[in-house]
């Protein structure tokens, strides 16, 4: 898919790229299992043996667009070992083997170019490590999975359930047949690992990232959030933690509806980056698709060629160490809570007492008129509290005789 887009646009915009960057990009060889997908004019340069491509002395830059983690890792290692710069759009590969691959690149004095790995065509990698190079990164809040944002946007606009929208999203090609990589937040976490590495100068382990997906989000909570002035988005959140660790977490999040990030709808992606010098910035565009991704891959290939032209392995320093991620139960966040409470006096007092006992302030309470069967919805927005404390209080509240299922708790970021 992305390979096809890359080839198409390179052939089409070759002269423009040459004019702007001074490099003359040529496709020397294509390694492909299905030759029918290669344009006729390039069929003579197509092989099913990727090793012959990587080892061809005329091939100066290797572009890996196959995806997946196993064969892609083998190709990436072979390219770097052959001292050839690697261009890749593969976020899973970098999230799992970034430390190893960047180490190998350093050892072989070559570079890895990965603009297409996060945010599709949005030049977010370039913005973070070049444009904002003078900034300590205070926070990153990213909507970086188009499938999840498409589903949440439709749920918000149409008031329909997740189960209904996911079926339509699959039919329309906005969700894969196996949707779990997207809707369970894994893909967002892969990209979060890459963004965190740029913000902090170290890699984080996938297993250290707290990940929640969007399957449990109901149209009801989206609608209540709207009434309270918030929009629910699946966010990657990256922040420094007080204990010299990095917060890297992925979960559905209430954000203020009047923020620019909340206005990002459908399949679009956006990454809000706050720096200590620049203040708040935001980058927006299509986060996936053959065309948008090709734009980023082409930029990377032009960069790699420019670096080869001056014998530089890469313009910016890379890093190949792991850093500490803050444990989720130590992280301080705010929460939106929806409880199903028996419609009787004294319930609010019981709930408030438990939050109070755990030192958690209640910022606002909302009890809508409507109710189903014996319970009424009781909505609360809480002040900042440590996750562990919140979870203790929340379990205790759910055990109250006056509180029934379903209950829901979703974290909230107010960008303050």
The residues carrying an active-site annotation are 191
Smallest gap from Cβ 337 to a copy of itself, in A, equals: 28
Q: Which CB atom, from 14 or from 358, has the smaller least distance to a copy of itself?
A: 14
Task: Kindly identify the residues of this chain, within the stretch 80-119, that bind a copy of itself according to CB under 8 A.
Answer: 115
Taking each continuous run of H as one helix and of E as one strand, the counts in the chain are 13, 16
Residue holding tokens 């562990």? 388
Q: Is 238 in the site for a copy of itself (CB under 8 A)?
A: no
Smallest gap from Cβ 248 to a copy of itself, in A, equals: 19
Q: Which CB atom, from 259 or from 333, has the smaller least distance to a copy of itself?
A: 259
Smallest gap from Cβ 184 to a copy of itself, in A, equals: 27
What does 250-293 look like in DSSP terms, one character per residue? EEEEEEETTSTGGG--TTEEEEEEEETTTEEEEEEEE-SSHHHH
**Is the C-alpha dihedral spanning 248, 250, 251, 255 positive or negative?**
positive
In this chain, which of 4, 67, 123, 256 binds a copy of itself, going by CB under 8 A? 123
Q: Is 335 in the site for a copy of itself (CB under 8 A)?
A: no
Q: Is 357 exposed, middle or buried (0-12, 13-18, 19+ CB in 10 A)?
A: exposed
Q: Is 312 in the site for a copy of itself (CB under 8 A)?
A: yes
Smallest gap from Cβ 269 to a copy of itself, in A, equals: 10
> Which residues 6+ apart lie within 8 Å of 150 measured at CB?
169, 174, 175, 266, 267
In this chain, which of 229, 279, 356, 368 binds a copy of itself, going by CB under 8 A? 279
Task: Kindly identify the residues of this chain, within the stretch 8-47, that bind a copy of itself according to CB under 8 A.
Answer: 9-10, 13, 16-17, 19-22
Q: Is 226 in the site for a copy of itself (CB under 8 A)?
A: no
Rg of the chain over CA atoms, in angstroms? 24
- CA atoms of 392 and 181, how far apart (whole Å): 30
In this chain, which of 113, 174, 224, 283 binds a copy of itself, going by CB under 8 A? 283
Smallest gap from Cβ 329 to a copy of itself, in A, equals: 30
Q: Is 280 in the site for a copy of itself (CB under 8 A)?
A: yes
**CA distance to 116, 118, 296, 349, 379, per residue, from 125 (Å):** 8, 7, 10, 49, 39
Q: Is 316 in the site for a copy of itself (CB under 8 A)?
A: yes
Residue holding tokens 């313009």? 315
Smallest gap from Cβ 282 to a copy of itself, in A, equals: 4
- CA atoms of 157 and 378, how far apart (whole Å): 23
Q: Is 281 in the site for a copy of itself (CB under 8 A)?
A: yes
Sole window of 173-181, 235-243, 278-286, 340-348 interacting with a copy of itself (rule: CB under 8 A): 278-286
- CA atoms of 81 and 330, how far apart (whole Å): 41
In 3D space, the residue among 310, 321, 292, 315 whose CA is nearest the CA of residue 112 turns out to be 315
Interaction site with a copy of itself (CB under 8 A) = 9-10, 13, 16-17, 19-22, 115, 120-123, 126-127, 129-136, 201, 258-260, 263-264, 268, 270, 275-286, 289, 291-292, 294-296, 298-299, 302-303, 306, 310-312, 315-317
């Amino acid at each position: 898919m992305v390979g096809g887009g890359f080839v198409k646009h390179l052939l089409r915009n070759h002269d423009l790229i040459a004019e702007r960057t001074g490099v003359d990009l040529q496709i020397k060889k294509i390694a492909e299992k299905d030759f029918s997908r290669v344009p006729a004019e390039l069929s003579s340069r197509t092989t099913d043996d990727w090793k012959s491509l990587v080892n061809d002395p005329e091939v100066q830059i290797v572009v890996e667009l196959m995806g997946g983690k196993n064969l892609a890792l083998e190709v990436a290692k072979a390219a770097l070992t052959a001292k050839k710069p690697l261009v890749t759009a593969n976020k899973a590969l970098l999230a799992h083997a970034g430390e190893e691959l960047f180490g190998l690149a350093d050892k072989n004095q070559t570079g890895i170019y990965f603009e297409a790995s996060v945010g599709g065509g949005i030049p977010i990698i370039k913005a973070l490590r070049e444009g904002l190079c003078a900034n300590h990164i205070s926070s990153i809040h990213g909507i970086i999975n188009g499938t999840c944002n498409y589903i949440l946007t439709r749920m918000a606009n149409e008031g329909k359930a997740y189960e209904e929208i996911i079926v339509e999203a699959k039919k329309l090609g906005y969700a894969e047949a196996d949707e779990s990589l997207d809707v369970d937040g894994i893909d967002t976490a892969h990209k979060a690992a890459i963004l965190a590495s740029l913000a902090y100068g170290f890699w984080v382990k996938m297993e250290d990232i707290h990940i929640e997906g969007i399957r449990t989000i109901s149209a009801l909570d989206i609608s209540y959030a709207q009434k309270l002035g918030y929009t629910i988005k699946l966010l990657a959140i990256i922040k420094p933690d007080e204990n010299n660790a990095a917060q890297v977490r992925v979960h559905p999040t209430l954000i203020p509806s009047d923020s620019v990030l909340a206005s990002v709808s459908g399949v679009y992606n956006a990454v809000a980056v706050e720096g200590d010098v620049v203040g708040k910035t935001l980058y927006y565009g299509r986060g996936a698709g053959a065309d948008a991704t090709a734009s980023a891959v082409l930029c990377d290939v032009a960069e790699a060629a420019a670096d080869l032209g001056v014998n530089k392995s890469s313009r910016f320093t890379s890093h190949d160490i792991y850093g500490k991620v803050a444990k989720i139960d130590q992280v301080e966040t705010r929460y939106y809570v929806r409880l199903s409470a028996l419609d009787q006096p004294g319930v609010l007092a019981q709930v408030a007492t438990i939050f109070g006992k755990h030192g958690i302030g209640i910022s606002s309470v909302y009890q809508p008129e409507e109710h189903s069967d014996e319970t009424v919805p009781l909505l609360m927005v809480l002040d900042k509290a440590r996750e562990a404390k919140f979870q203790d209080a929340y379990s205790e509240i759910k055990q109250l005789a006056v509180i029934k299922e379903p209950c829901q708790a979703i974290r909230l970021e107010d960008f303050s």
